[in-house]
Amino acid sequence: MNQEIEFNQVYNKIQELLKSGKNTISVLEEQVDVELQLEYFKTSRKLYNKVDKEVVLMEKNQLTESAISIDVKKELLSSLAKIDDPSAFRALETYKENPDAELEQWSKLAYQESKMVLETSLLGEAPIFISTGLGGKGSQLRYFIVLVANESEALEEWQQNLVRKELNYFFERDNGELEQIDFDTDLVLITGLLPIAINIKDTLTSVVKECNELGGFLKKSFIVTNVKKLEINEVRNMVNAAQSKEDSSEDGGSNELEL
């Protein structure tokens, strides 16, 4: 339940910002590990007000020098990202295309930050930056979704076809994009994009409701995350844990799968 409350709070806050029209939205399109993102932002905060623009710009060529350590390059990337100078942005853009293997994701974050810094300098206002583990595209966020069949029964071919049909309909209705749909016995594994302004829970609830008009074969609950694509064993563990909780509840439990 805490996860649902947190989701609603974040969603409502984003809607407020969108309605205000005062800021543009910048979505991190790349898929970057969340733990690494936290490390990057922690390093970034430490560097605020400590970046010597002239020194950092003079050192930017060190990014391509093999003798320079990964840790030094990390800090250099983060420092360049804070400079509102096109040459800093171009250096990050060039390095991102051919980075050290250990810094591939770090360079993507530095590039995104630099892009925002330049936009702020040119437009006079800072865009709202939204980053998730699964990234996004344009004004859309990417989600990993799992629908679950009732009674752990394998979905029949007609049921699979119906799920595909309803997913395509409601994602198209909400200006989204389905990237992948897979079936694993009683599970539907989905990767897709939806606009930031759309509440994905409403979209999925509509999908499940329409599918259940013919036989009630899907659970009303579902799994949604934008942190990472879950492995099948992780999904199974979550579903089993939710089922056990439901079975042991005195009132029969709720149908809510939590992340």
Residue 177 clears pLDDT 80, i.e. is over it = yes
- The model's confidence at residue 30, banded by pLDDT at 50, 70 and 90, is confident
Residue with the larger pLDDT of the pair 192 and 13: 192
Instruction: Provide the whole-model pTM.
Output: 0.80
Residue with the larger pLDDT of the pair 200 and 245: 200
| 183-to-4, 75, 178, 186, 258 alpha-carbon distances in Å | 26, 43, 14, 7, 21
- Structural domain spans, the chain: 33-130, 136-248
Q: What's the N-to-C CA distance of the chain in angstroms? A: 9
Rg value, the chain, Cα: 22
Collapsing DSSP states into helix, strand and coil, what is residue 148?
Answer: strand
Residue with the larger pLDDT of the pair 14 and 205: 205
- The model's confidence at residue 130, banded by pLDDT at 50, 70 and 90, is confident
Residue 179 clears pLDDT 70, i.e. is over it = yes
Rounded-to-integer distance, Cα 174 and Cα 25, Å: 18
CATH domain 136-248 topology? Alpha-Beta Plaits (3.30.70)
Smallest CA-to-CA distance from 12 within 199, 194, 171 is with: 199
Rounded-to-integer distance, Cα 240 and Cα 259, Å: 13
Tell me the backbone φ, ψ of residue 163, rounded to 5 degrees: -60, -45
pLDDT (average), residues 21-41? 84
Q: Which of 149-163, 164-178, 219-233 has the highest mean pLDDT?
A: 164-178
